[in-house]
Amino acid sequence: LTLEEKFALVRSVGEECIQEDELRNLLAKKKNPVCYDGFEPSGRMHIAQ
């Protein structure tokens, strides 16, 4: 895959990307990059029954 294809693939499944230039740099430099999949609870929590 080209750099732009990798970038488009990652962005297609990501909800939010804080720094797109940093993502491009990571994809260009690392053969097997490691990414963080974060979760932030916001608002009231409830348990569906």
pLDDT of residue 37: 74
pLDDT at 49: 67
Instruction: Please tell me whether the overall predicted TM-score, pTM, comes out greater than 0.75 for this model.
Output: no
Three-state SS annotation for the chain = CCHHHHHHHHHHHCCCCCCHHHHHHHHHHCCCCCCCCCCCCCCCCCCCC
Mean pLDDT by 10 residues, the chain (49 residues): 94 86 94 80 78
